[in-house]
Amino acid sequence: MQTCFTEIPNFFTDEECEMIIDLALEKGMSESPLSQYTDKSADEDPWEEKIKAWDRNKNGFIDKTEVRIGNNLIGSF
């Protein structure tokens, strides 16, 4: 799956980022609950462990047999 976004490193300075955040807060916006989890790196996939648990044959894909088995595991997460 391809993303619709492209990252441009260092597009804004730290000061410009803070200014944009301050302006958004003044307009009533708030921090996303997902962004509040700072103990995990942005590169980590929170679903990775769950997918690994369902992927019985370790091929990187969940097939229909694994879905049937995985449905029995839902309570274990």
Q: What is the pLDDT of residues 45-76, one digit of tens each?
A: 667 777 777 788 888 878 888 877 766 655 54
Alpha-helical regions (H) of the chain: 14-26, 48-54, 64-71
Q: How confident is the model at residue 77 (pLDDT cuts 50, 70, 90)?
A: very low
The C-alpha angle 10, 41, 44, rounded to 5 degrees, equals 115
Q: How confident is the model at residue 6 (pLDDT cuts 50, 70, 90)?
A: confident
Distance CA 77, CA 75 (A): 6
Check residue 5 and report its DSSP letter: -
> For the whole model, what pTM was predicted?
0.37
Q: Which residues of 6-22 are buried (b: 16+ CB within 10 A; e: fewer)?
A: eeeeeeeeeeeeeeeee
The pLDDT of residue 70: 66
**Percentage of the chain modeled with pLDDT above 90:** 17
- pLDDT: is 33 or 66 the higher one? 66
